[in-house]
Amino acid sequence: MRRKHNGMRPQDLVILLKVITLGDTFWHAKDLAQSLYISPSEISESLERSHYAGLIGHDKRRVNKLNLMDFLIHGMRYVFPAQPGILTRGIPTAHSHPYMRTLIHSSQPYVWPSSDGKEMGQAIEPFYPNQIKAAMSDQHLYKLLALLDVIRVGRVREINFAENDLKKVIEHVGAY
């Protein structure tokens, strides 16, 4: 019997993006769990929620990229809003990410709070507690998560840039 769907959780987006970064590479749920610092049972539950929501196929391996893009562009900032917090030390995100910094100029830096961070900026809470560890071990995932933060906290011009870049990256990996 299928469990009742109680809505998506923020870490579900990170898991879907990680699946996208893996492309056609074969993976096991335990591999996702290890690379994202999430329990294997939570990976399984997340993939089930994403399947129920139409964001991943029946095999729970192929992300429905059109549906995911639609959600990321039109729904994510309302379902998982971010309000910049206090000035703190952390890991650069949003338009403060090293890649975005070369394209979007802003005097307002944003960071994921972390004692390992070297930059000061307004705090943006990650989607889940171990997101920073996962992002630091996968630069491609880190870039995608920073693009999501641009969509969550950016201005119109910055959001348009992030949406277009996100589309390019996600579409490049393949179609579903």
- The residues with which 121 forms a beta bridge, in sequence order, are 88
Determine the Cα–Cα distance for residues 124 and 114; give it in Å rounded to an integer: 11
> Going by DSSP bridges, is the β-strand pair 110-113/119-123 parallel, antiparallel, or unpaired?
parallel
Res 173: pLDDT: 66
Would you say 103 and 161 are in contact if contact means Cβ atoms under 8 Å apart? yes
Reduced to 3 states (helix: H, G, I; strand: E, B; else coil), residue 43 is helix
Beta strands of 14-143 (E only): which ranges? 87-92, 110-113, 119-123
Residue that the structure tokens 């999430």 belong to: 38
Mean pLDDT, range 112-133, rounded to an integer: 96
* pLDDT tens readout for residues 96-113: 999 888 888 778 899 999
On average, the pLDDT of the chain sits at 92
Q: Show the tokens assigned to 176.
A: 């579903």
Domains and CATH numbers, the chain: 10-79 (1.10.10), 87-172 (no CATH)
Determine the Cα–Cα distance for residues 99 and 22; give it in Å rounded to an integer: 20
Which residue type occupies 89? R
Q: Show the tokens assigned to 46.
A: 């997340």
Res 145: pLDDT: 98
Res 175: pLDDT: 41
Res 49: pLDDT: 96
Mean pLDDT, range 67-92, rounded to an integer: 96
* E strand or H helix that includes residue 8: none
Closest CA to 130 of 45, 62, 32: 32
Does the structure show a pLDDT above 60 at 2? Answer: no
Would you say 85 and 41 are in contact if contact means Cβ atoms under 8 Å apart? no
Which residue type occupies 98? P
Res 106: pLDDT: 78
* pLDDT tens readout for residues 148-168: 999 999 999 999 999 999 999
* pLDDT tens readout for residues 33-46: 999 999 999 999 99
Q: Show the tokens assigned to 65.
A: 């990229």
Predicted confidence band of residue 134 (pLDDT cuts 50, 70, 90) = very high
Determine the Cα–Cα distance for residues 28 and 40; give it in Å rounded to an integer: 10
